[in-house]
Amino acid sequence: MVAAILWLIFCLALLIGPFVLPLAAPVQLTIAAIGAVLLVLGSAVFLVTKLYVRTRANQAFVRTGRGGNLVVVDGGALVIPVLHEVVRVPLETIRLDVDRLGADALVTADKLRADLKAQFYIRVQPNSEDVLNAARSLGEKTFNLSAIEELVKDKLDSTLRSVAATRTLDELNANREGFAAEVKSAVEADLRFNGLTLESVTISKLDQTDTKLLNPNNVFDAQGLRRIAEITQQALVARNEIERAAEEARKQKDVATRLKILEQERIEAEAEAINKTRIAEAAAEEKARVAAVQAQKEAEARRVQIDQEQQVSQLEVEKERRLQEARLEADRAAWTLLFSAEEAHRLAGEVVPLDAHPGGRNRWAMTIREPLGVIAAITPFNFPLNLSMHKIGPALAAGNTVVHKPATTTPLSALALVQLFEESGLPPGALNVVTGPGGEIGDAFVTHPGIAMVTFTGSPEVGVRMRSLAGMKRVTLELGNNSAVIIEPDANLDAAIPRCVTGAFAHSGQVCISVQRIFVNENIRSEFTDRFLAATGKLTLGHPHDPSTDISSLITIPEAERVEHWIAEATSAGARLLAGGQRRRATITPAVLADAPETVSLSCREAFGPVVTINSYAHLDDAIASINRSDYGLQAGIYTRDLDRAFHAARRVHVGGFMINEVPQYRVDNMPYGGVKLSGSGREGPRYAIEEMTEPKLITWNVS
């Protein structure tokens, strides 16, 4: 078939090829004619050959033998030349079956073998006396008693041993018929390949009186069956001996295994006893350790509580702060320190993708953040503990050292704080405190070459002076505010009014982001003002150590006199004093004014006292414009249910932080905190302060 296909391709190439190549027309026609003639002749030869083979093949049935290397022909011997010459079957792999033919077939096959001058195998299974005699005269193999005895003996012996190797004696005795059938099947398969038929062999019934025959042609007699029975019995005896030996070995192995198991159990029992003892000892040690740790924690908690109470008392004494406010500040300072400690774990740079540029091929880069060095921290009086912690905590977390200058009026908290740091294991010199006049010390800080950065919270006048003297030093400033809040006509007054009262008068107004200006839409001004005055009237003036006190004294009498003067200035300019404003020594009753002009001090400067102004507006943009005309820009807020208007104001108001449905006094200690314009520069809050107190360094390396 392959040759025919190749011939066809060759002829087609002759037919088509000339017309593809650039040849002369006569040459093309000549080559094409030759190709056509060869194609016709080849087709004729292929058809004749195929017809001849099919005709011959119809005279006999050809089948492939075991393994695919033996061709067996049942029937006419004349098909052998066809197999050999046309189909190319080697003669030595051809076997001619003549078991169902007469003696004449043997003679014909032998003559054909002589004509071919080659050998092929003629298998003879005599089915008559004349065929047997003819086969013997030709010397062909016949299956006599001796041949089948040897075949069955070998097969039975190997099969019995194979089965015995995979069966126990109990299994063989319990299923002798099944074992006999298994042996019979194996022997019969081998005999069938060699041309025999084993109709019935039942090993358990083979004896001297058995007359069952091996095939229906009565070639074998009872003597052959007895020989098979003897062979089978010998195999069974050998199998029994093997099984007994195996059983004995198994018993010995079981004894050895049992001894090993007992020894292993003994070892495991001893190990378990030792482990229990060790576990009990370890549990006792752990219990003692836990008790010691718990006792240490309780002692530490008591010490921290004592320290915190001492700080609270210190705040009450040096600032005459209300007890609730002092406790709140001490708690906030602890949170600020905790946030700073957490941010120390996150102090990291970034990977720079240099390979984005052709010149950065095979190069890597990263940034790291390094501490600046010595940080000078200057803090005010109003929150002497927490505002100090907002500078000291991030500076130490970033790896800097600190020189702290507390307010002249509140130095005791700073001194107690540095003592706590020292007791907690802070290295000597990492935190230092300098007390004294603010002007002299501040100027020394900003001009000293050993100080890398100054962080200051205080008045705008001092802050601007420090920045002008600092030169190339890094400076962060928090300089106060005159915070404003907008009340829209759809605002929730039940939520807004209590928060505005607290935002205006908490800490007696001495907060950088205290509510100082309230802009109320003209449609709700009357209702808001009445309810605000009613809530303000419920505030209690008293001693700072009294838990029921809401309003206490200012830091000094001169500060109270200044606030009193500003109130008088506003009323002289046309503002209406709706409530409060009376001074007794350093205490001023909560003051509420209306319609204060933008030019008076209460509107354009930081009051830092218990005073608030209420003005009305017609349009939201009018209120936004009034807020933006201030020189300050720390924080502001708005109350409204309309998010579009809320975010319109948030984007338009020029401040460092904008609160929606909250007063501008709102602050938690991990948020960024800082302002624009005269309110300062830079940001506080541990994470953001650490960024101010470190600088990035670039590191690159060539990896090629």
Contact in structure between 187 and 198 (CB atoms under 8 Å): yes
CA distance 212 to 221: 9
Residues 6 or more apart in contact with residue 562 via CB below 8 angstroms = 609
DSSP letters spanning 14-50 = HHHHHHHTT--HHHHHHHHHHHHHHHHHHHHHHHHHH
Task: State how far Cα 334 lies from the chain centre.
Answer: 35
Residues 6 or more apart in contact with residue 441 via CB below 8 angstroms = 378, 405, 434
Contact in structure between 40 and 32 (CB atoms under 8 Å): no
End-to-end CA distance of the chain: 62
CA distance 679 to 208: 125
Contact in structure between 412 and 318 (CB atoms under 8 Å): yes
Residues 6 or more apart in contact with residue 219 via CB below 8 angstroms = 126, 143, 144, 145, 148
Neighbour-count burial for 628-638, b at 16+ CB within 10 Å, e otherwise: eebebbbbbbb
Contact in structure between 570 and 601 (CB atoms under 8 Å): yes
Nearest to 578 by CA among 529, 621, 618, 545: 529
Contact in structure between 492 and 639 (CB atoms under 8 Å): yes
Contact in structure between 620 and 488 (CB atoms under 8 Å): yes
Task: Write down the catalytic residue from 478, 606, 684, 692.
Answer: 478
Contact in structure between 640 and 490 (CB atoms under 8 Å): yes
Task: Write down the catalytic residue from 188, 325, 488, 512.
Answer: 512
C-alpha angle 213-214-220 in degrees, rounded to nearest 5: 70
Q: Is 667 exposed, middle or buried (0-12, 13-18, 19+ CB in 10 A)?
A: middle
CA distance 674 to 667: 11
CA distance 31 to 590: 122
Contact in structure between 482 and 516 (CB atoms under 8 Å): yes
Residue type, 133: N
CA distance 389 to 341: 12
- Residue 512 is among the residues annotated as catalytic for this protein: yes
- Residue 370 is among the residues annotated as catalytic for this protein: no
Per this entry, what is the length of the chain? 704
Dump strand ranges (E) for 393-445: 401-405, 431-433
Residue type, 306: I
Contact in structure between 470 and 493 (CB atoms under 8 Å): no
From residue 273, give the alpha-carbon distance in Å to each of 263, 270, 279, 280, 284. 16, 5, 10, 11, 17
Residues 6 or more apart in contact with residue 222 via CB below 8 angstroms = 208, 210, 211
Which tokens belong to 280?
């009990």
- Which own/partner pairs from 41-50 qualify as long-range (CB within 8 Å, at least 24 positions apart)? 42/4, 42/7, 42/8, 42/11, 46/4, 49/86
Residues forming the active site: 478, 512
